Structure 1
Amino acid sequence: MSEQGRHEALTRTVTEKLRNDRTVTIRPMDSGDLELEREFITNLSAESRHFRFLGGVGKPSQQMLEALTDIDHEQREAFIAIAEDDSKEKEVGVSRYALDPDGQSAECAVVVADDWQKAGLGTLLLNRLVESARARGIPLLYSIDSAENHKLQEVARNMGWQCKVDPDDHTQVIYTMRL
């Protein structure tokens, strides 16, 4: 990939039409998105928060929000999906990865607002992560998720991710994709 193509893959903003005819803008996340992220996480259902954080996250702390929005776009990447809601921007999905210390793999996560699920947004956000990881030369993406997250299982299977039970915790699965 040319340097210009690589840069574009990492930084461009795109507008996408979903299967339900709703429109979203997907762009790299930055620290200015902290309040959007706060509102997004707070408004997720208990089930969606559990699937995303594999534990009890209610109202996100300021420290957590700063960590989630302090993206260096090298070791950590995130893409935010924005929709207009009463002429105000609203976060409706996010995808992110963090490069492992060995630089050979990155753990990723995707979450979509409950009322925006099943319209293809999760797939778009995952595709953006894959594109970014490829542009950076990261050979492997992986995700550790609840074995009960059947929506994610379907998306991952359709995209060609490999799935295995977590050997350390049978209530979790590990998805991997070689790039």
Structure 2
Amino acid sequence: MSPLSLDALVEPNGTKGIVCIRVADASDVECLSIYFTGLSATTRNKRFMGARADLAAVAAECVAKAGHPDHFTLLAELRQEGQRTIIGETRYAYDPAARHGDFAISVADVFQRKGVGLRMMTSMERHASNLGHEMIAAETTRVNAEMRGLAKKAGFEDTGLGDWQSVNFAKRLSR
């Protein structure tokens, strides 16, 4: 999987340009930091399950293990008129002890509910499956109805392991 390989092409309704989903690398840290900064406070809080002030450090963490086979970050990038703008990201890490991958995802506010998040999750699942992983899991807050809806649409099921504040969900990957 080459760091600059295109993974999927998406054309959200009303968008002039093409959205490409690709694997992030170390050269993406600054643009990813700008992306995180541009998210609304609500979207940032949902992505990180709380407030984060160190967005440059978070961006660096997202690509720090780019060469590690069981960790990757996918970027959704809007390409129009020679410009590239990150409009979504999903970070994936495999936990060998738990025997499942874990992920977090965000989509820029103006691109939510346009299919970008679902395509990113599909791409993430395909990459994880290609690595031989059989299960993906995640956690979100109970009040994050958007993430819960996206997970359900992508075929994830509530595991029942959450507490009064959180929901855990998982999906078995097909090979």
TM-score (norm 1): 0.85
Does residue 1:100 correspond to 2:101, yes or no?
A: no
Q: Deviations over 1:10-61 (max 9, x none)?
A: 9740332124445201111101001110111001111111111011113514
Aligned residues: 170
Q: Deviations over 1:69-110 (max 9, x none)?
A: 222251211110111367432100011210103272111111
Does residue 1:174 correspond to 2:168, yes or no?
A: yes
**In 2, Cα distance between the equivalents of 1:20 and 1:110?**
22
**In 1, Cα distance between the equivalents of 2:68 and 2:5?**
13
Match of 1:67 in 2: 61
Kindly state the Cα deviation for residue 115 of structure 1 after the two structures are TM-superposed.
0.7
Match of 1:117 in 2: 112
Percent identity between the two aligned chains: 22
Q: Deviations over 1:106-146 (max 9, x none)?
A: 11111100011010000000000110111111011011111
Match of 1:29 in 2: 24
Runs of 4+ in 1 over 3 A off after TM superposition: 19-22, 84-87, 164-167
Which ranges of structure 1 fall in alignment gaps of 5 or more residues?
1-6
Report if the CA contact (8 A) 2:4-2:24 is conserved. Answer: no
**In 1, Cα distance between the equivalents of 2:20 and 2:51?**
29
Does residue 1:17 correspond to 2:29, yes or no?
A: no
Taking only aligned residues, the RMSD between alpha carbons, in angstroms, comes to 2.2
TM-score (norm 2): 0.87
Code of the residue aligned with 2:106 in structure 1: it is V
Match of 2:51 in 1: 56
